[in-house]
A and B are shown apart, each in its own frame.
Chain A
């Protein structure tokens, strides 16, 4: 059994419901990412552009750090 370590109270109901919500929203999340990465691959192939980090499941968003070199 694991325990949640936190100085704030994460809330019993909040912990339980977030697990349920996460399970539900992960379905469209991965569907979207799969489509996106497929489109990305198809686009990259004909142009023969630079490779770079492909196949990542992380969605590209404004939160991507410019200093991240993966």
Chain B
């Protein structure tokens, strides 16, 4: 046998005995186990595999020699295309999660046309690839057995429907419950948190409220104790189609109430003149081009807000993760980008002052945001005052976090006299004597060298391009 570099199983890939994902020499592979051989063969021969990939519903993959397998029991090994950045469902805005839900139902509809069905409906099976949702679990499909109910029903309701309903009917921030209940929001909790009026919406009444009651009622069931043995529930194909159609309509019928938050309405409130804005854009573009010239391809726009600078980075050739801590800003950004057909910018909901930690089994199943950071440059514009004054983070700690994240930063210094800083200080004591340009420079120069320092015209703000000292 040929000597190969050691294989390492991806930490989140342990639930399904039919196969798993691993890395060998940094390359991502998926092993298909012998127990799943017949379903895999049907997936191929039915034409579903090719149809899903052609429709952009499923990530493309390439066959590789089976001796690349990581463990015994493999019948096939494939190399899926890699996703540029792995995100988690609680880092998506409402419409991102909704699009992921509809994609899952679309995959189910396509599977049925080929005599197959989904085996699971985890939100973690969806990722954003070129800014659009796509299924990444190639082993999610099996042969349909006549009369079987839709097995992923519970998972779909817990992973998608419950958080979407809570965001639409209670509060846009409720999506963050997925950070705690990462394997789906318990339906009894969702039922309790949803407003009473949702009991009169047929979709939510059925799939959340009644569903939760049924779960509670049958929680203690064993095969012997119940009249209807759950494992013997049958359902005709046409009824299953009707159920899935109803689920799709229920998801499609969920909408966010139309009102902004502080940040979503923030764009017009900058302290810039027209000349200042033009100057800032020109400098940012020049600095990005300098990073691109050194081979930079991935950018994080930290505190992206409306995504104006994400667009400049995309135009400069970067794939951009537009990070913002405000769900409404991320939602607005996503909808605008989707409408424009923009594929190079992925909006991401995360607070850089509290980045999502590693969660799940052994805290490694779903990696922390900092572990997933793979950018070449961070655009930290109009950010430093929010961290230093809004969140009381000392400047050296801000510099340290940037050094952990990226080799290049394009960062804006916002001086104390700036109206936005004065706004932050309007109701509190100024306990930030170290918040000076000298203090900022010293903090960052401990970890970075300054490549360029450019004052913004018609403003007292300064832009820096810095390279990490390695």
Contact = CB atoms under 8 A, between A and B. Distances in A.
A58 B102 CA distance: 17
Nearest to B16: A7
Interface string A21-39: 1111110011000000000
Contact of A3 (B120, B232, B242, B243): B232
A22 B213 CA distance: 16
B155 interface: yes
A10 B238 contact: no
A61 to B, nearest CB: 7
A13 B120 contact: no
Contacts, number: 150
Nearest to A32: B245
A30 B238 contact: yes
Contacts of A26: 238-239, 242-243
B246 interface: yes
B17 interface: yes
A42 interface: no
Interface in B24-59: 47, 50-51, 54-55
Given A4-B151, A7-B16, A63-B105, A15 B207 contact: no
Contacts of A29: 241-242, 245-246
Interface in A22-70: 22-26, 29-30, 57-59, 61-68, 70
B210 to A, nearest CB: 6
A8 B151 contact: yes
Contacts of A30: 238, 242
Interface in B351-375: none
Given A6-B119, A13-B214, 18 more contacts: A2-B234, A4-B233, A7-B120, A8-B151, A8-B152, A11-B218, A11-B230, A12-B219, A13-B211, A13-B215, A16-B233, A18-B233, A19-B235, A22-B149, A22-B235, A25-B243, A26-B242, A65-B110
